[in-house]
Structures are given as structure tokens and as C-alpha cells.
């Protein structure tokens, strides 16, 4: 079993990237004992400086759907959904 030390992690190039909104890198980290997913996007500031924009989410959270247009994830709705479909 591979145990990651606290306050450390790893990023890997996203080989399944299908659009510009998908993260360039993803991986996992442990922060204060909490295991989390990490996503990273290569970006460029208005002054031309390159940087990484990061997003974290707990691994043990409710199921997530990705909203890459904003660079972060949104929780899936829970419970009954009232979408007015009559079946």
C-alpha cells in the first residue's frame, strides 16, 4: 500500500484532457491528514507570467460532477429531483 506523507502529494499530466477547460494536471494530496484530489490548470496572467491554478476536493466527499468551465467541481444534487418530467 502506498502511503502519502502528510502535507505532500503528486500531480500527473492529464492524458484524458478533451477540452481546454479540463485540468492540465491532476493527482492527489494529503493535507492535515485529509486525502484530497487536486486539479491544476496552466494559465498566463495579463502581464504574461505563467502560473498554475489549483483546485482541491476531499476524496471522501459526496459524488462530484466536474464543471471545468469554472475550474472547480460542483456537488451532484442529492435526494429527489423535481424536474417536472411526468414519469
Sketch the domain layout of the chain as residue ranges: 8-69
Q: Reply yes or no on whether the pLDDT at 82 is more than 90.
A: no
Q: Reply yes or no on whether the pLDDT at 64 is more than 90.
A: no
Q: What whole-number distance in Å separates Cα of residue 39 and Cα of residue 57? A: 9
C-alpha cell at 55: 483546485
Q: What whole-number distance in Å separates Cα of residue 74 and Cα of residue 62? A: 10
pLDDT, tens digit, 9 for 90 and up, residues 8-48: 999 999 999 999 999 999 999 999 999 999 999 999 999 99
Please give the residue that has the higher pLDDT: either 61 or 14.
Answer: 14
Percent of the chain with pLDDT over 90: 63
Q: Which of 38, 25, 27 is nearest to 73 (CA)?
A: 38
Q: Are 25 and 9 in contact (CB under 8 A)?
A: no
Amino acid at each position: 500500500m502506498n502511503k502519502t506523507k502528510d502535507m505532500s502529494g503528486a500531480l500527473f499530466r492529464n492524458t484524458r484532457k478533451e477540452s481546454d477547460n479540463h485540468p492540465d494536471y491532476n493527482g492527489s494530496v494529503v493535507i492535515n491528514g485529509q486525502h484530497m484530489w487536486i486539479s491544476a490548470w496552466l494559465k498566463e496572467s495579463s502581464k504574461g507570467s505563467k502560473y498554475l491554478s489549483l483546485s482541491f476536493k476531499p476524496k471522501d466527499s459526496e459524488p462530484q460532477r466536474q464543471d471545468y468551465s469554472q475550474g472547480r467541481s460542483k456537488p451532484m444534487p442529492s435526494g429527489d429531483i423535481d424536474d417536472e418530467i411526468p414519469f
